[in-house]
Structure 1
Amino acid sequence: MSMVELTEGQPRSSDGLQMDWIEVPFGPFFPGLPAGLRLTLTLDGDTVAASEVRSLVGRAELVDGPPMAVVDFVERLAAMMPLSPVSYRALACAAIEVAAGVEPDHDARRGRAAAVERERIASHLNWLAELGLQSGFLWLAARAGALQLAVQGADVAGIATQAGAIRRLSRRVQAAPLMRMRLRRIARIGKDAPASGPVDRARGGGSDARTGDPTLKDLGFEMRVRNGGDALARLRLRCDEIAQSLDVIAAAGRIAVPQVPDVDRVSGEGEARIETPRGTASLRVKLANGKVVEADLDTPTDVNIALVETVTAQRELGDALSAVASLDLSPWEVRG
């Protein structure tokens, strides 16, 4: 049988050739991608012709039964987000405080901000470890993974002890020639595409929910940005944010996990925003007699997951996988 007969009726590739297209699944436990994410790529040879991504652990409704005690609601939301539980705990507490008209004191605000920044450091280090594993930089996977474990539950003194090693790793990974060659110019995202968090700020601008926070301003926070919009810019921005988070924690002088406010039998509505490691999350809650009766959550992954098709289209398979990893998606943040 001739090649013409073998490929008759097959889709035509971008180079004009007709080949068999095959669907290849990656996940939910593929190295370098978050567990729970299923990525299906349609391959034309070794080039991605189409992609589909979905979460196998998508979040349930926040309030799916009778009114919830605020303590139960806060714990439920934190448990639903295992990649950034402290950030979502802080978000839930903040929204409830607004609804109840409660204002945390100065020390509580500083301690809460530092706890979220500690989680940002650990999250970005975990992302570096996964990137190293997927890209074959095993030294990066090992070192970033070890530092993540060292800081994720550390106090201020413990963070200070690890700060030098973290900064050295950040400088090393950014200076690595092979890393630059691997990530430069892949997964470029223009400013017209909706994006959140480091994905947004790595293209020369963007937004950060921390910008308007007076507590973080007092602690010396300034939004970091990078130019380029590609996977390398996102790597460098996350390294910048790690360094800044170390400075914020040192300035705060304390780390305190957010405590659930006592709202008694208050009724009201409140909304809060927070900058999680992956971008801005917002929560709206409604209280009735001290219990949560309604809640609605928007997450950064709800925004960034729509970019998968953009960053993988017509990419060689290895570049496509690195492109998806550079978005740092959380399957638990996806609706449904």
Structure 2
Amino acid sequence: MIEVTKDLPRSADGLQMDWLEVPFGPVFPGLPGGLKLTLTLDGDGVTEGRATSLVGMTTEAEEVEGNEESEESEQINAGTFIEHLASAMPLAPVSYRLLACLAIEQGAGLNDDQATTQARNSGLERERIASHLGWLAQLGRQLGFAWLTQRTSTLQLQVRDADRNRLAELEPALRALGTRLERTPLLKSRLKGIGLLPPESSALRGPVARAADEGGDAWARLWQRLAEISASLEFIRSSGEPELASLRNIGDVSGAGEATVDTPRGEARLSLKLERGKVKSYKLDTACSHHIDLVPKLVEGRELGDALLAVGSLDLSPWEVIS
């Protein structure tokens, strides 16, 4: 036995045994589809890990060098660019549609319109509620809480296209969900201390960043998202009817624009150049592109179940991981 194991790595308990590299995903219960998590296991412990996206888009499109005809062929109609960006982000299409509209309109020199801005922001907050409900459904699958998965999935479908009156009708059910989670036995003990962010963590955005001030673990991230659901309901109640952003008339202008939108997972930033009303180049930065780098630190030295729960608590969208 000594001869067989003498060259194997030594575990934390002093035993020497094979370390296995095991993939989880791109389809795995409790993790978003398209995310590949690769963990090196020492028994049921994780020695190291990494996460990659199999569906993310490129971070930027550069200007094309060459004659005017070749540049024109690479330019994208503004409306087509908006649809492309929204469809590329299926977990937050409203947010990225708004982001593209704002950057293009800013590049065209258009001023803000208060009524339009309110309606757009109401649509953004409605998507935030639906997105957080989707994360709660995923959490339910990881914890084995079938009631949580079923209830939040149903509410998510009801919220997604609801008008302001319908959201008001759903508000009691949404608030009751938080109350039930608060009273769920052992939930706090299962999440407290899991996915604790290291003190040197940087580039945090959205709920992950805001929860860092309240403990920075999976438990804090749960309650941060529930608080955001309540805040979004209050915003919609006091603002206009939720609407999808649509591009205002920009004509054939040229210019440079940039915009930032607080998506359900954190700030996304887009800068672009317009030429004769078309998108010539762009650069995109998203929260998930930074948060995915937290995975190795969150899983190292954890038991497998805790490691998977920690990764899930980040609410990574593989489509929003930009390469």
When normalised by structure 1's length, the TM-score is: 0.90
State whether residues 304 and 329 of structure 1, in contact with CA within 8 Å, keep that contact through their aligned partners in structure 2: yes
- Equivalent of residue 267 in structure 2, options 280, 285, 298: 280
Q: Shift in Å at residue 267 of structure 1?
A: 0.7
Match of 1:308 in 2: 295
User: 1:335, CA displacement in angstroms?
Assistant: 2.1
Deviation at 1:107, TM superposition (A): 1.2
Matches within 5 A, 1:147-158: 147-158=155-166
Q: Output the CA distance in 1 between the equivalents of 2:248 and 2:176.
A: 39
Deviation at 1:61, TM superposition (A): 5.7
Q: Deviations over 1:84-107 (max 9, x none)?
A: 000000000111111111124211
Q: Which residue of 2 aligns with 1:94?
A: 102
- Helix, strand or coil at the partner of 1:282: strand
Alpha-carbon spacing, 1:305–1:280, altered in 2? closer, same or farther (3 Å) = same
Distance 1:305 1:63 in 2: 22
Deviation track 1:154-186 (CA, whole Å, cap 9, x = no partner) reads: 111111111110111022113323211110011
Letter in 2 for 1:85: P
Q: In 2, are the aligned partners of 1:126 and 1:144 still within 8 Å (CA)?
A: yes
SS of 2:47's partner is: strand
Q: In structure 2, how many angstroms separate the alpha carbons of the residues matched to 1:6 and 1:164?
A: 63
Q: For 1:120 and 1:305, how far apart are their aligned partners in 2?
A: 20
In structure 2, the residue matched to 1:37 is: 35
Q: Is the 8 A contact 1:11 1:18 kept in 2?
A: yes
| 1:202 counterpart SS class | helix
Query: 4+ residue stretches of structure 1 with deviation over 4 A?
Result: 61-65
Correspondence for 1:219: none
Q: Secondary structure at the match of 2:212?
A: coil
- Residue aligning to 2:111: 103
How far 1:266 sits from its partner (Å)? Answer: 0.6
> What is the match of residue 207 of structure 2?
198
- Give the Cα separation in 2 of the matches to 1:57 and 1:190: 28
Quote the residue 1:58 is aligned against.
56
**Contact map agreement 2:59 2:285 (CA 8 A) in 1:** no
Contact 1:287 1:293 in 2 (8 A): yes
Could you tell me which residue of structure 1 aligns to residue 225 of structure 2?
238
SS at match of 2:261: strand
Q: Which residue of 2 aligns with 1:71?
A: 79
Aligned positions of 1:125-136 closer than 5 A: 125-136=133-144
Alignment of 1:115 with 2:123, yes or no, is: yes
Number of aligned residue pairs: 312
Q: Which amino acid aligns with 1:46?
A: D
**CA displacement at 1:191 relative to structure 2:** 4.3
Q: Which runs of 5+ in 2 are unaligned?
A: 63-72
Q: Which amino acid aligns with 2:298?
A: V
What is the SS of the residue equivalent to 2:51? strand
| Residue from 248, 258, 268 that aligns with 2:235 | 248
Name the % identity.
Answer: 50
Partner residue in 2 for 1:207: none
Among candidates 164, 168, 176, match of residue 168 of structure 1: 176
- Taking the aligned partners of 1:42 and 1:323, their CA distance within structure 2 comes to 16
Kept after mapping to 1: 8 A contact 2:59/2:284? no
SS in 1 for 2:161: coil
Q: CA deviation at 1:285?
A: 0.8
Taking structure 2 as the reference length, the TM-score comes to 0.94
Identify the match of residue 276 of structure 2 among 271, 289, 305.
289
**Greater mean deviation of Cα atoms: 256-265 or 61-70:** 61-70
- Whole-angstrom CA distance in 2 between matches of 1:252 and 1:96: 24
Whether the 8 Å CA contact 1:190–1:203 is kept in 2: the answer is: no
Which 5+ residue runs of structure 1 have no aligned equivalent? 205-226
Shift of 1:63: 4.2
1:90 counterpart letter in structure 2:
L
User: In structure 1, the residue corresponding to 2:117 is in which secondary structure?
Assistant: helix
189-198 or 85-94: which moved more? Answer: 189-198
3-state SS of 1:177 partner: coil
